[in-house]
Amino acid sequence: MSKLLFVHDHTFTLVGDDVYSSGAFPSWAWNRYLTDFSSVTVAARSKKYSGDVSALRIDRSEREGVEFRFLENISTLQDLVTGGGDAGRELRELVASHDAVVVRLSSELGLLALRHAVALNKKVAVELVDCPWDSYWNYGGLAAKLYAPLITRRVRSAVKQADGVLYVTQAFLQNRYPCRRGALTTACSNVNLKGIDESTLTGRLERILSREQIVKDSPVIGQIASLTGRFKGIQVMLEVIPELIKTYPGLKYKVLGAGDPKPFLLRAEALGISDHVEFCGTVPSGEPVLNWLDNIDLYVHPSLKEGLPRGVIEAMSRGCPVVATSVAGTPELLSNKFLVKPKSKKELLEKVLFVLSDSCDLAQAARDNFTKSKEYSSPLLENRRSEFWAAFAGRVYENNVLC
């Protein structure tokens, strides 16, 4: 079996010699590659942590067959011109010493690794998990908007050179970043829904009925989001809460996710809504997240960038009504009456008020979302993903024989 190099800009947390990840790469995530490859080397970034790891509630990322190589950040203009300096040279050596490369885009390390893989005649697959145009155009200042066309062209070019592309959307990313003719391709979200049981919908419908009067005064609105940066739109939601509590004085907005909540708490204090906002930290992935979702009345996702939002699918699988921004692949999940433009406080306010009002059939929204989520059940996605990686491994083997 062949050796695989996996490259992404993800920042892993180092606690002594142990490697952790904040949800994106738990140890079981590497199983999808180790079925068809003898080993996986992960090239990424890292940060050290010396405190109590249990307080972070993050997942152990190490496992047998997986090695980690941590590189310096190469996101500066100088790095783009020079090819990443020492980190770029180390990355080229890693590409040369492996049989195949997988890059998760968009990421600078991933783009550079793909360039080296093509030059060295290595088979390379792309996992396209977000839209760089949306990422830079909707999130950031003038410099980000100026960079948006360039990074979009770079990612389009990279996808065109790949031997296989795994898209997290059904159509959106495929249309914006098409692969070349003959490339392997599949549509496969990175959500992990192990079991979608009808009893979940029954429980949601019972909650809607039992809380009908409570929601009229004290609805619980939830969001799963990283607190690093502002791209998940938490700041947009905070801005609409002062208007929402005029109608719903007992409203609570809860956010589940890793990161420092201080900037958001300060803004909430300035808006006079501190009593209506709660940052819940993190819980282990899987069942604890789903249990948290079972205790909210409405899920909001005012994100400025996405691929296909995992949190939205998880919420839908619990029968949650959802309001989200119309970025990237999100319209593949929700009808227009539950979508808003990114950054639009006015639309977000109107949609939330609509969903919480008597004019919206919450029970029907719960049924629709629950039914849609079944398209993303783990057995379906795992079969699709397994077929893709098996086919890619076959091409790697053929390439090695020819070489």
Query: Mean pLDDT of all residues in the chain?
Result: 91
* pLDDT tens string 271-285: 999 999 999 988 877
Answer yes or no: are the C-beta atoms of 149 and 196 closer than 8 Å: no
CATH architecture for residues 198-373: 3-Layer(aba) Sandwich (3.40)
Cα separation of the two ends of the chain: 16
- pLDDT value at position 76? 62
| pTM to 2 decimal places | 0.88
Burial 32-48 (b: 16+ CB within 10 A, else e): bbbebbebbbbbbbbee
Please give the pLDDT value at position 341: 95
- Where residue 359 falls among pLDDT bands split at 50, 70, 90? low
Residue that has been written with the tokens 């195949």 in this structure: 100
CATH code of domain 2-192+378-402: 3.40.50.2000
Our measurement of the distance from residue 271's CA atom to the centroid of its chain's CA atoms, rounded to an integer in Å, reads 29
CA neighbor of 101 nearest in space, from 184, 6, 1: 6
Measured at the alpha carbon of residue 104, what is the angle toward residues 99 and 107, in degrees to the nearest 5?
115
CATH topology identical between 2-192+378-402 and 198-373: yes
pLDDT tens per residue, range 77-135: 565 656 667 888 999 999 999 999 999 998 999 999 999 999 999 999 999 999 999 88
**Residue the block writes with tokens 């969903």:** 355
Kindly report the length of the chain. 403
Residue 75: CB partners within 8 Å, gap ≥ 6? 9, 108
Structure tokens at 379: 């057995």
Distance, CA of 369 to CA of 213 (rounded, Å) = 23
Percent above pLDDT 90 for the chain: 71
pLDDT in tens, 328-357: 899 999 999 999 999 999 999 999 999 998
Residue pLDDT, tens place only, 43-72: 999 999 887 777 666 789 999 999 999 998
Q: How far apart are CA 82 and CA 286, in angstroms?
A: 42
Report, as an integer, the average pLDDT of 178-199.
90
Which of the listed ranges 234-243, 280-289, 393-402 does the model predict with the highest average pLDDT?
Answer: 234-243
What would the 3-class secondary structure string for the chain be? CEEEEEEEEEEEEEECCEEEECCCCCHHHHHHHHCCEEEEEEEEEEEECCCCHHHCCCEECCCCCEEEEECCCCCCHHHHHHCCHHHHHHHHHHHHCCCEEEEEECCHHHHHHHHHHHHCCCEEEEEECCCHHHHHHHCCCHHHHHHHHHHHHHHHHHHHHCCEEEECCCCHHHHHCCCCCCCEEEECCCCCCCCCCHHHHHHHHHHHHHCHHHHCCCCEEEEECCCCCCCCCHHHHHHHHHHHHHHCCCCEEEEECCCCCHHHHHHHHHHCCHHHEEECCCCCCCHHHHHHHCCCCEEEECCCCCCCCHHHHHHHHCCCCEEEECCCCHHHCCCHHHEECCCCHHHHHHHHHHHHCCCCCHHHHHHHHHHHHHHHCHHHHHHHHHHHHHHHHHHHHHHHHHC
Its sign, for the CA torsion 380, 382, 388, 394, is: negative
d(CA 179, CA 177): 7
What are the domain boundaries of the chain? Answer: 2-192+378-402, 198-373
